[in-house]
Structure 1
């Protein structure tokens, strides 16, 4: 029987980017469905997480994710523009957010169309892979195509913002209920596995369950 692994993921998380290829590979290697459940980044969802007294967290992430990407052989650069618009000179999310809601809603729609993880992988390869001005031209449209999707159709669908806001809020409640708050978090039968570097642990658990494909 196919197992379900929930993947809680953010379009502004460098570790989510690093986890995307491995998340996609899970479906090839195991009898599992990886259910893509995008959430808003902590900087929007829980702004106090990056208060000035907690800046050491942000500084460490900026050091660590780059070396992790280098170790994995993945291109890495902080997105230009940042998926979250910040107040000038701060790490505080600005009131107007032109990118992150669209990306997150598109992720929810991609999952509804059966290609959530593939879409996340392709889009994060743009944003964190060094493509400057990833939001302009046909970058996103081509990323959607590579994931088997049509960006224009998805944008038309997410015009119903209330529906997608509700989906994202439900995902955020479920992430909290899983026992964690960060991304990427994989959840198998209520057991959370937090971080790109816990994919091996999740694979070990799936092996225990006898779910590896022949």
Structure 2
């Protein structure tokens, strides 16, 4: 498994991405696996009617399962405040204006340009899904960037000046995910093989070990 290279397709709105990202980071740091973060926009941006078309029990199960998985793995969890996507939970309708998700996803892609996307995504996700209130305000994200070895002001400058280029890279990430054979996140892609879900990390490690 030493020297394996793979990609992590990730969404800042996905609680399952949050449940996977710390374990991806640990894998990269302890096993010398090179995992490149490839952030994508969530389904709420890519397919705004997804939630309206989905089975009513989908959201109910999500609310039960995510805290359970977090507890099982000892991962801090709290509903995001605010949600990265502005959505009417009762009707499932996605608001036309989205003040949070574009910035945080572009920040993730900018961090990936510096080779520190995995660390930034983990630190930022711990704010969003770990219970930090108003994670988008104050020095929350600056601290996350610093812990990842980055400077938030520099990342924000890229987000402001190169938003179109960053969005093109994010779109390319989504296209790469689909070429690999999946559409959802979190997905780890190793040797063109997708491993979808936070429950496929051990299987991905097993496959990498087979290649050694």
Q: In structure 1, what is the Cα distance between the partners aligned to 2:89 and 2:27?
A: 40
Q: How does 1:1-214 map to 2 (within 5 A)?
A: 2-51=3-52, 53-87=54-88, 89-159=90-160, 160-210=162-212
The 3-state SS of whatever aligns with 2:95 is: coil
- What TM-score comes out, normalization by structure 2 length? 0.94
Q: CA deviation at 1:49?
A: 2.2
Q: Write out per-residue CA displacement over residues 105-139 of structure 1, whole angstroms, 9 at most, x where no aligned residue.
A: 00000011111000011001001101111111101
**5+ residue gaps in structure 1?**
none
Give the alignment's Cα RMSD to 1 decimal: 1.4
Q: CA deviation at 1:54?
A: 2.4
The 3-state SS of whatever aligns with 2:135 is: coil
- Preserved CA contact (<8 Å) 1:43 1:92: no
- Give runs of ≥4 in structure 1 deviating > 4 Å: none
Number of residues of Structure 1 aligned to a counterpart in Structure 2:
210
- Preserved CA contact (<8 Å) 2:4 2:208: no
Change (3 A) 1:167 1:203: same
- What TM-score comes out, normalization by structure 1 length? 0.93
Q: Write out per-residue CA displacement over residues 173-204 of structure 1, whole angstroms, 9 at most, x where no aligned residue.
A: 11111111111000011100011110000111
Q: In structure 2, what is the Cα distance between the partners aligned to 1:96 and 1:120?
A: 23
- Preserved CA contact (<8 Å) 1:30 1:206: no
Q: CA deviation at 1:44?
A: 1.4
Change (3 A) 1:126 1:53: closer
Q: CA deviation at 1:30?
A: 2.9
The 3-state SS of whatever aligns with 1:5 is: strand
- Preserved CA contact (<8 Å) 2:123 2:147: yes
Q: Which moved more, 1:173-182 or 1:119-128?
A: 173-182
Q: CA deviation at 1:92?
A: 2.2
Q: CA deviation at 1:208?
A: 1.2
